[in-house]
Amino acid sequence: MISNLYNIADFMPDEVEGKQLSEDELLAKLPELPEQKIADLIIANRYLGMFPNIATAAMSELSKRRENGSEFAYEQYITEQINKLPKLNFDVKNVSSLLNKFRFK
């Protein structure tokens, strides 16, 4: 299970060191984050299924910034970064065989 707390230092290391924020606090800080870090939250959601509420708000924030003149190509950045990650392929057979390897005899 994913914790309800997020280490803001991962996203804003110069401002906060080691502080953890709840989802609501991170959502409130979203407009302050750099565009690349906001896109990274979306990547985490698409790749690992993390931060679903934050990913939705992040996409909205990037869209607002685009409407206000930002030239950050977040769609391209997200696609490129996801394509660099190894493909996750977990199906029931893989999980079952993995669990069988750790079964005590």
- What is the pLDDT at residue 82? 94
One-character DSSP codes across the chain: ---SEEEGGGT-TTT-SS-EEEHHHHHHHGGGS-HHHHHHHHHHHHHH---HHHHHHHHHHHHHHHHTT----HHHHHHHHHHHSPPP---HHHHHHHHHHT---
Q: What is the mean pLDDT of each run of 10 residues along the chain (105 residues)?
A: 48 55 88 94 88 93 96 96 85 61 56
The answer, as to whether pTM is greater than 0.75, is no
Domain count, the chain: 1
CA atoms of 19 and 45, how far apart (whole Å)? 21
Q: Which domain holds residue 34?
A: 5-101
- What is the pLDDT at residue 73? 96
- What is the pLDDT at residue 22? 83
- What is the pLDDT at residue 9? 53
